Amino acid sequence: MIQLAVAGATGRMGRAVLELALRDERFSIAAALSSAGCPLCGSTLLVADRAVPVVDRLAAPCDVLIDFTVPSGTMAWLEVCQDLELPMVIGTTGHSEEEAARIREAAAAVPIVKTGNFSPGINVILSLLGQLTREVGDAFDIELVETHHRWKRDAPSGTALMLVDEILAATGGTRERDVIIGRIADAGSRSAGQIGVHSVRMGDVVGRHEIHFSGPGETITIAHTSQSRKTFAAGALRAAAWIVGKQPGLYSMRDVLG
């Protein structure tokens, strides 16, 4: 049985992971982790009809840690995982370039799965996006719209940036030169190769991503809607089971899905 620690256990995604893990015979919960300043630390969560203690340190034996915190939380648990030579699954998004570099550095010592989205559907879209981008060519403008709940802290979403990077890999473009985040005032006409990215935050929307390719007389739209956090939680558990026993390295969800 895999001994699992969940960092960010008191958040929406952390609770979803705990609920599925407690019903999954592959896993046993080693620790439900939160930050020391969390008001729920030291109390218990009622998840899947079980009382789960919330702690701020990893004291029990553990096989893998799933991180759904904030960027600074990832950095803190990354140090713990590296010290303990513990595999890590990172679902947190919004990391800075420096934080992303630190994750890559740690992956030389411990196996890490890092992704902005654990859903199989998004990863299928990622596998198709480069081919579509190349085939429509320069005649089509590309715009991406992502929608999430009102509490989401980072924008654009990690998934949106994954999608953009896949498009840029096909066009040879760069984020700095070719990506524009929203448009305000007199933004002027769009330049060749520009990719527009727009973020909507409202209500309790779990997640929706739309990629629009618009050319002469026609528009192609690929849309993905996440209807439940359980999809992401199931993907994170799949990644956690997969990463145990792997060699150090930085892996993606596409590696997990094969």
Q: Domains plus CATH for the chain?
A: 2-114+229-257 (3.40.50.720), 120-226 (3.30.360.10)
**37 Cβ contact partners less than 8 Å away, ≥ 6 residues apart:** none
Give the DSSP H/E element, type plus range, for residue 147: strand 141-148
From the list 152, 198, 230, 246, the catalytic residue is: 152
- Which residue do the tokens 């984020």 mark? 175
114 belongs to the catalytic site:
no
From the list 95, 114, 148, 209, the catalytic residue is: 148
3-state SS of 227-240 is CCHHHHHHHHHHHH
152 belongs to the catalytic site:
yes
What is the predicted pLDDT for the residue at 108?
97
How does pLDDT run across 14-69, given as a tens digit for each residue? 999 999 999 999 999 999 999 878 888 878 888 888 889 999 999 889 999 999 99
- 3-state SS class at 1: coil
Per-residue confidence band for 191, with pLDDT thresholds at 50, 70 and 90 = confident
- CA 109, chain centre distance (Å): 21
Task: Tell me the chain's radius of gyration from C-alpha atoms.
Answer: 19
What pTM value is reported for the model?
Answer: 0.86
What is the predicted pLDDT for the residue at 150?
96
Burial of 52 (0-12, 13-18, 19+ CB in 10 A): buried
